[in-house]
């Protein structure tokens, strides 16, 4: 097991108690306790995505990680506001020909919705006391974030622009995740903005590092040690890596998704609103090619996923990923498919060797 020596910027290593400046990104639906535990064993901050979990399930997952690895853990939550209406009639109309083709209807039982951070989840944080709590789509109301801070957790959150980074710093975040345009999964945007105006990491990261006093974590398109070293030189104190960890055997990604991460489609990922209603980057599949990537009939986040649930299940039972998201950042093909602990150690050692 490598020590934590050699890194010039130790701010996040010391704040979180890490050996290497890597955050294994939370990935709702794709990352669970196995991935987090092995990333922690490699010296990184392991993350448990909680947006799709009940508090009971999140508590159980934390227990598994704590039993298997000793090191800091990050619990991740979404902070979106649920829209008043979940009317998805127009969206079901767009999907009707696919329902007929697969012999399924609109779902009788809605699938688990991505839920915003709540009183219940805050109580769970107070109970299980993670070292770090991260938020996507902004921060919760101060009453809740104050309780998270009082539990002893460090608070971090994603910014996709300088304006968002300044707000997160003012609200007292301990570190800010600069999420570039390249990133896989949902963009954590929380201020109204033209999505096309979102910056790539090379422009966003140094400007956020100059604008705020707290440490910055770089996210988006980092697939190998070159990306880590470049991010650290551009002002990051650590990196947050998602897609590369998706390829690990411990992730929950299915076989078809794994194959797509190695295929030609991973070279032309797109932002789509079809699968949740929010903009997220993924690999093109049948639904994206035929009705997207952006379709105005898709209801706002997070409601677009309901009408797709049965269709997606019917297709995936046949190994067909035509109707489910295959989230991926732009650098999927750079990353080696290794166990999470080995990947973490390799990325860190190679990045350290590249740095002056
Ligand atoms: C499959 C997948 C699911 C994701 N789910 C979440 C999530 O639940 N919470 C979150 O904060 N970020 C989520 N993200 C975004 C990551 O935190 C991070 O910004 C991104 O993975 C970095 O870009 P990269 O994928 O190119 O490494 C997800 C990313 C992926 C690829």
Question: Could you state, in order of their start, the residue ranges of all structural domains in the chain?
Answer: 11-81+116-269+331-354, 87-113+271-327
Which residue, judged by its Cα, is nearest atom 7 of ligand 1?
27
Mutate to test the pocket of ligand 1, among 25, 36, 139, 334 (most ligand atoms within 8 A of CB): 25
Cα distance between residue 183 and residue 189, in whole Å = 12
Residue 319 confidence (pLDDT): 83
Please report the pLDDT score of residue 86 as a whole number: 85
Instruction: Identify the pLDDT of residue 5.
Output: 77
What per-residue confidence (pLDDT) applies to 110? 66
Task: For the chain, report the end-to-end CA distance as a whole number of angstroms.
Answer: 23
Cα 299 to Cα 6, 90, 274: the distances in Å are: 49, 8, 9
User: Does the domain made of 11-81+116-269+331-354 have the CATH classification 3.20.19.10?
Assistant: no
- Check residue 197 and report its DSSP letter: G
Is residue 333 within 8 Å of 13, Cβ to Cβ? no
Q: Which atom of ligand 1 is nearest to 245's Cα? A: 27
Q: What is the pTM of this model?
A: 0.97
Q: Which of 24, 242, 253 to mutate to test the pocket of ligand 1 (most atoms within 8 A of CB)?
A: 242
- In terms of Cβ atoms closer than 10 Å to its own Cβ (0-12, 13-18, 19+), residue 141 is exposed
Determine the 3-state secondary structure of 244 from DSSP: helix
Residues of the chain with confidence (pLDDT) below 70: 1-3, 106-112
User: What is the reported pLDDT for 111?
Assistant: 61
The pLDDT assigned to 3 comes to: 64
Quick one: how far is CA 268 from the chain centroid? 19
Ligand 1 proximal residues by C-beta, below 6 Å? 25-28, 30, 49, 51, 76, 134, 136, 158, 179, 182-185, 219-222, 240-243, 246, 327, 329, 331
> Ligand 1: distance of its center to the CA of 136 in Å?
10
Ligand 1 atom having least distance to the Cα of 327 = 1
Cα 103 to Cα 314: distance, rounded to the nearest angstrom: 9
Q: What is the atom index within ligand 1 of the atom nearest the CA of 177?
A: 19
pLDDT value of residue 109 = 58
CA of 102 to the centre of ligand 1 (A): 30
Residues ≥6 apart with Cβ < 8 Å to 189: 137, 160, 161, 164, 195, 198, 279
Query: Which pLDDT score is estimated for 112?
Result: 61
**pLDDT at 1 (0 to 100):** 46
Q: Determine the residue of 46, 75, 186, 260 to mutate for testing ligand 1's pocket, defined as the one with the most ligand atoms within 8 A of the Cβ atom.
A: 186
């Amino acid at each position: 097991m490598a020590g934590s020596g050699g890194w010039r910027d130790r701010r996040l290593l010391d704040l979180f108690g890490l050996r290497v400046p890597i955050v294994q990104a939370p990935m709702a639906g794709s990352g669970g306790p196995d991935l987090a535990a092995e990333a922690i064993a490699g010296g990184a901050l392991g993350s448990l995505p909680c947006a799709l979990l009940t508090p009971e399930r999140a508590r159980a997952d934390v227990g598994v990680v704590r039993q298997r690895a000793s090191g800091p853990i990050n619990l991740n939550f979404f902070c979106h506001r649920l829209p008043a209406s979940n009317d998805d009639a127009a969206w079901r109309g767009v999907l009707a020909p696919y329902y007929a083709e697969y012999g399924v209807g609109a779902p009788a039982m809605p699938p688990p919705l991505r839920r915003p951070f709540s009183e219940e989840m805050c109580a769970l944080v107070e109970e299980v006391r993670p070292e770090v709590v991260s938020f996507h789509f902004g921060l919760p109301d101060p009453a809740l974030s104050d309780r998270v801070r009082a539990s002893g957790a460090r608070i971090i959150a994603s910014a996709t622009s300088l304006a968002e980074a300044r707000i997160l710093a003012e609200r007292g975040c301990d570190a800010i995740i600069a999420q570039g345009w390249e990133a896989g999964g949902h963009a954590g945007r929380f201020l109204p903005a033209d999505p096309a105006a979102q910056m790539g990491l090379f422009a966003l990261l140094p400007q956020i590092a100059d604008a705020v006093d707290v440490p910055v974590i770089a996210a988006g398109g980092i697939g190998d040690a070159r990306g880590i070293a470049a991010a650290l030189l551009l002002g990051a104190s650590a990196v947050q890596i998602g897609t590369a960890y998706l390829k690990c055997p411990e992730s929950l990604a299915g076989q078809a998704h794994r194959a797509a991460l190695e295929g030609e489609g991973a070279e032309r990922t797109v932002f789509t609103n079809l699968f949740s209603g929010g903009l997220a980057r993924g690999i093109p599949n049948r639904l994206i090619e035929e009705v997207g990537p952006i379709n105005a009939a898709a209801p706002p986040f997070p409601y677009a996923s309901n009408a797709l649930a049965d269709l997606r299940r019917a297709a995936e039972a046949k190994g067909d990923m035509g109707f489910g998201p295959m989230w991926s950042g732009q650098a999927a093909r750079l990353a080696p498919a290794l166990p999470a602990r080995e990947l973490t150690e390799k990325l860190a050692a190679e990045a350290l060797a590249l740095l002056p």
